[in-house]
Amino acid sequence: MGRFQLKRIVVAAVAAVCILVAVLVFRSGREPVESDPLPARTASGKSATAIAPSADPAGGDTIVVPVDVVVDEYVYLPNSATLEGLDSGSSIDNPGARSGSRRLRGIRELIPADGEGGFIAPRISPDGLQIMMTRPGFRGIYVASMRRGDPERISDLNAWGARWTDDGLIEVRTQDGMVQVLGPDGTIQEVRAASDLDEPVFADADVIMVRAEDGSTRPLTGNEDNFYGPMPSGDGEMVAYQGLNSGIYVARADGTDPPVHLGDGTNPTWMRDGSGVLFEVSTDDGHDVVAADLYYADSAGGERTNLTEDFDGVCMRPSVGPDGSTVAFESEGGVFVGEMR
């Protein structure tokens, strides 16, 4: 190869690099427009077909998401693209969910921390008049008035999984395989053997399972993450659950639509009308939680709002009252209450 030819090749290569750099700078510096593709994440590890509209009204561009797509890999789709071929082990996430204007207003300390480690896991009763909580390590069950505070220990049972029933009683599954139903004053109303039918949704081998009325079960998720903590909505139509590595999802219990990925978070709890969930997003130092805020996300995944960004404290384990606006949460050993609006 002659010297002149080599020089022409070098010049052409340099020109190509300059053009590429200019294109990248232009794309990164301009404002996004409506027609730009938005990133959609699939946590499925499964295949899916995206039908994206094109200028030709007779058809659209077809994008096939590869079979080996895993959590945190993205496929870029136009805003109006639709996905076909998704099953119950698939989900689509739009990380561009908007932040709304909702905040927790008028936050007050209902129950202060004390010398016994304080209180955790508050849960507002179905009538909104009382609140249940426990000590760190889920030691005992306490009930207090939502107006005055004044917690009273009503049981020495381990409070892990303790929950209010629709008629205002407290149901606890004990370690010996029994279920105790307590009145708000701690009197035992019923003791029975625990049944699988007590749990309409449950986790089995890191897969979320749904139980039908006839007792049959089917998977709601695949095994692409370690899923746990399913929480049905009040009407049983929806389920919120967590992935150990991928965060919070919501899905229809009948599996008719792909689950919606809401992003990072733990401890989801439903709005009473099933319109969305509250949860915490926390940061730890490897041992202790050092920062946490409460978030609201709607069931469609279109909104994700920090409710406590103006509150100076570590906010965890939210609970929503029957009015849909009263929210209780724990913060550094105390129990706080605010109004979401």
Per-domain residue ranges of the chain: 1-30, 37-86, 104-154+196-340
Residue with tokens 């009325």: 213
SS3 11: helix
For the residues 17-32, what does the mean pLDDT come to? 45
DSSP state of 10: H
Residues 6+ apart with CB under 8 A from 123: 131, 132, 133, 162, 163, 164, 319, 328
Tell me the per-residue pLDDT of 245-257, one tens digit each, with 9 for 90 and over: 999 999 999 988 9
pLDDT over 90, % of the chain: 65
Q: What's the confidence (pLDDT) of residue 261?
A: 96
Query: Residues near 26 by Cβ (< 8 Å), separated by ≥ 6?
Result: none
Contacts of 137 (CB under 8 A, 6+ apart): none
Distance, CA of 104 to CA of 88 (rounded, Å): 34
Mean pLDDT across 119-142? 98
In the predicted model, is pLDDT for residue 72 greater than 50? no
- Specify the pLDDT at position 79: 33
Give the pLDDT confidence score for residue 213 in this predicted structure: 83
CA–CA separation, 296 and 289 (whole Å): 20
Asked if the model's pLDDT at residue 23 lies above 50, the reply is: no
DSSP 8-state code for residue 222 = -
Averaged pLDDT for residues 48-71: 36
Q: What is the C-alpha R_g of the chain?
A: 25
Q: With 90 as the cut, is the pLDDT of residue 34 above it? A: no
The segment with the largest mean pLDDT, out of 6-10, 41-45, 83-87, is 6-10
- pLDDT value, residue 205: 94
SS3 14: helix
Which residue matches tokens 């407290």? 170
Q: Of 211, 242, 320, nearest to 275 (Cα)?
A: 320
| Helix, strand or coil, per DSSP, at residue 35 | coil
For residues 181, 142, 267 and 192, what is the CA-based torsion angle, rounded to 10 degrees? -10
Tell the residue number behind the tokens 């070098």, with chain if given: 10
**Average pLDDT rounded to a whole number, residues 265-281:** 96
Q: What is the pLDDT of residues 170-217, one digit of tens each?
A: 999 998 999 999 999 999 999 999 987 788 999 999 999 999 888 899
Contact (CB, 8 A) for 253 and 201: yes
pLDDT at 64: 38
pLDDT over threshold 60, residue 126: yes
18 pLDDT higher than 60:
no
Which residues, 6+ apart, have CB-to-CB distance to 113 below 8 Å? 119, 332, 333, 334
Mean of the per-residue pLDDT values of the chain:
80
* Separation between Cα atoms, residue 322 and residue 129, nearest integer Å: 10
Q: What is the DSSP string of 44-111?
A: SSS-EEEEEE-S-TT-EEEEEEPTT--TT-EEEEETT-EEES--TT--EE-TTPBP-S--EEEEEEEE
Residue where the block lists tokens 């590890």: 45
